[in-house]
Structure 1
Amino acid sequence: MRAFWKDCRLKDFNEVLEQYEPMIHKIISTLHIYKEKGEFYQIGMTALWEAWEKFEEGKGSFTGYAYTTIKGRCMDELRRQVKWKEGCAYPDGTDFWEMLPDDSVTGRLEAETLMTYFLPLTDPQKKWVLYTYIGMMNVREIAEREQVSVSAVKKWRSGAQARLVIGKQ
């Protein structure tokens, strides 16, 4: 008996949804929502379901109650999104992501700066320094990348460390 009642209620709601679907679209349009129409349509359908479940016959028209509920839920979501966006921006209105430095330029500058300090190093030793400190790679990863043995990379490392500590060789 319960399954039958649930099935009847679902069929009834499908009819209600069909009847009030234009209202959901109108509210979305009235609120000037263009980017996330699908998301707000889902919010509108959920709000319509809640209105349909909670509506009491003697307390006014369902249309007014549904409209108020749907618009209220959409407005709540808009407020939530604005609050979230404000949390991601600096006080002057600049977006957080716009303030991050360009890593591609920074990485090149770091590598160029390091290279001036490592003029006495051989090419393999320079590779070890760059892979280790810029690329954050370990000895095994460097060996795989350069297609050499791990012991060869360890020799690069010891040679680079010796030349950097002493300064000449």
Structure 2
Amino acid sequence: MDSFDMVHKQYDAMIHKIIHSLNIYKDKDAFYQTGLIALWEAYDKFNPEIGAFPAYAYSYIKGRIMTELTRNHLTEDRNVYQKEEFWELIKDEQPVETLPRERILSYCSELTVNQTKWVLYTCLDVLSVREIAKVEKVSISAVKKWRKGAIEKLKLLEL
């Protein structure tokens, strides 16, 4: 039989076709890798006396990808990943000790006005992104941009 490189080139389209036929649209690279490993295993275990290699490889690859697909679905069903808004709704039961306003402002010298607002609302008033957006009458994504910029600049000050 040919070397695996030749087999890989010859059956590469088969792996892609199987992925497409199973309507896999997420994590295509991971499923392609699974298919490639299955092709290698089929190549390694193939016995020419049993039948033709293309049919053997096809069933081996498709079976392995379907097993991986089932495993992924079970993992998704068993695990619940909460959206960011969920975590903003949870109230912290611990008493909050805030820093003095002057000390907080001393860290904000390199920040824009809006980034400073985010720091003050977050540290002094303990407001969530959603609450800051409501108070400032801006979108939540705008406040998230303030937060991102402030965090990036404050990290640079740590150095």
Q: TM-score range by the shorter chain?
A: 0.5 to 0.7
Gaps of 5+ in 2: 107-159
Superposed displacement of residue 29, structure 1 = 0.3
1:56 corresponds to which of 38, 41, 47 = 47
Structure 1 distance, partners of 2:82, 2:37, is 33
Residue 86 of structure 2 is matched in structure 1 by 100
Which protein shows a greater Rg?
1
Structure 1 distance, partners of 2:51, 2:59, is 12
Superposed displacement of residue 88, structure 1 = 1.1
Listed as ranges, the matches of 1:1-169 within 5 Å are 12-89=3-80, 96-98=81-83, 100-102=86-88, 106=91, 129-131=97-99
Greater helix percent: which structure?
Answer: 1
What secondary structure does 1:34 align onto? coil
Superposed displacement of residue 76, structure 1 = 0.8
Gaps of 5+ in 1: 1-8, 90-95, 115-127, 132-143, 148-169
Q: 4+ runs of 1 displaced by more than 6 Å?
A: 144-147
- Matching residue's letter, 1:19: Q
Residue 164 of structure 1 is matched in structure 2 by none
Residue 118 of structure 1 is matched in structure 2 by none
| CA root-mean-square deviation | 3.3
Q: Percent identity?
A: 39
- Matching residue's letter, 2:82: W
Superposed displacement of residue 102, structure 1 = 1.1
Structure 1 distance, partners of 2:3, 2:91, is 62
Q: How many residues align?
A: 104
